[in-house]
């Protein structure tokens, strides 16, 4: 792959990450008005509307198993986003995303089946301990539990996405799953947001969060994946905790202690190491035996 084609693709992924964290920052600013579950509902509803309009998925020609996968994927989407925003209500953005990244990191370590991968697990553990270096009492325990739940949900999201991606072409499966997630989030979201949903400016900001957090990143990632090796893409996605910490500082005034910054750096290093280890294991498995 040419350097000329790779560099723009890398920039697309970085722009997608930045948009995602700006969207998360905007969501936090809306929490006092609509609540975290109201924000989840707004994000999923608008994301579903946009994706359905773009994909225009056909409902015919799919098995019961395919539709079960879509419902499962939609439920995971609703749960993951709900737990993430509930954690964001109680924790800094950088800390929340760092804990959430532990989900795919754990999945990558388990999938690699290499002894060296456990070194990356140990490094990630040291990073998590460092996150509480300023005092675990500074981190809300319930917020940490919500973030860990989001991490586990992210791991299930990857598995559900792969299953639906095999059964539905292009964005069809994601669009349908997003619609299911929106329907699941609707009742609790309406209860949480209440009369705020009648304010056009709040609804418009909710749509902006959906575009920034979902539509733009998904579109840019799809374009980038056509030009980048999967391992390179995964390494770039591992930088999410850093972009989240910067966004939290710039847009929300969230200051992190130096040990917390080191913790974020260690988790990023562990994520990159696990991706490289998993990629190496995949190449070795694909090589023919002599």
Examine the pLDDT at 135 and tell me if it is beyond 70: no
pLDDT band at 197 (very low <50, low <70, confident <90, very high): very high
* Dist. CA 162–CA 108, nearest whole Å: 14
Q: Does residue 289 have a pLDDT over 50?
A: no
Q: Looking at residues 74-94, what average pLDDT do you find?
A: 95
Identify the CA nearest to 239 among candidates 260, 261, 268, 263: 268
Average pLDDT, the chain: 88
Give the whole-angstrom CA distance, residue 51 versus residue 45: 10
Average of per-residue pLDDT across 262-285:
79
* pLDDT confidence tier of residue 260, bands split at 50, 70 and 90: confident
Q: Dump pLDDT digits (tens) for 105-122.
A: 888 777 766 777 778 888
* Cβ atoms within 10 Å of 182's Cβ, excluding its own: 24
Most confident of 69-83, 114-128, 220-234: 69-83
DSSP 107-129: HHHHHH--TTHHHHHHHHHHHHH
Q: Give pLDDT, residue 280.
A: 67
Closest CA to 41 of 196, 160, 241: 196
Contact 224, 9 (CB under 8 A): yes
Whether residue 69 has pLDDT greater than 80: yes
Length of the chain: 290
286, pLDDT greater than 80: no
Tokens 């980038």 belong to 224
pLDDT value, residue 3: 52
Percent of the chain clearing pLDDT 70 (strictly above): 91
More confident residue, 28 or 4: 28
Average pLDDT over residues 69-85: 96
Whole-angstrom CA distances from 271 to 35, 186, 224, 242 are 31, 34, 20, 12
Label residue 290 by pLDDT band (50, 70, 90): very low
Structure confidence at residue 287 (pLDDT): 52
């Amino acid at each position: 792959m040419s350097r000329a084609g790779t560099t723009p693709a890398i920039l697309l992924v970085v722009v997608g990450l930045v948009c995602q964290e700006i969207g998360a920052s905007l969501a936090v600013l809306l929490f006092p008005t609509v609540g975290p579950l109201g924000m989840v509902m707004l994000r999923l509803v608008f994301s579903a509307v946009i994706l359905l309009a773009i994909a225009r998925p056909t409902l015919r020609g799919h098995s019961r198993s395919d539709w079960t996968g879509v419902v499962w994927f939609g439920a995971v989407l609703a749960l993951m986003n709900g737990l993430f925003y509930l954690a964001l209500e109680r924790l800094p953005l950088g800390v929340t995303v760092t804990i959430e990244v532990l989900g795919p990191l754990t999945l990558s370590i388990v999938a690699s089946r290499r002894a060296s991968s456990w070194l990356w697990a140990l490094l990630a553990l040291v990073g998590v301990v460092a996150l509480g270096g300023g005092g675990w009492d500074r981190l809300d325990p319930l917020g940490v539990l919500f973030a860990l739940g989001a991490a586990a949900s992210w791991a299930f999201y990857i598995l559900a996405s792969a299953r639906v991606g095999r059964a539905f072409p292009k964005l069809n499966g994601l669009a349908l799953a997003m619609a299911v997630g929106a329907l699941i989030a609707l009742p609790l979201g309406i209860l949480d947001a209440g009369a705020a949903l009648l304010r056009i400016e709040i609804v418009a900001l909710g749509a902006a969060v959906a575009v920034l957090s979902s539509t733009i990143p998904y579109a840019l990632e799809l374009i980038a994946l056509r030009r980048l090796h999967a391992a390179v893409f995964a390494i770039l996605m591992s930088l999410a905790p850093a972009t989240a910490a910067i966004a939290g500082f710039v847009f929300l005034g969230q200051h992190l202690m130096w040990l917390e910054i080191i913790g974020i750096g260690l988790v990023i290093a562990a994520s990159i190491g696990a991706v490289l280890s998993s990629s190496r294991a995949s190449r070795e498995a694909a090589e023919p035996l002599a």
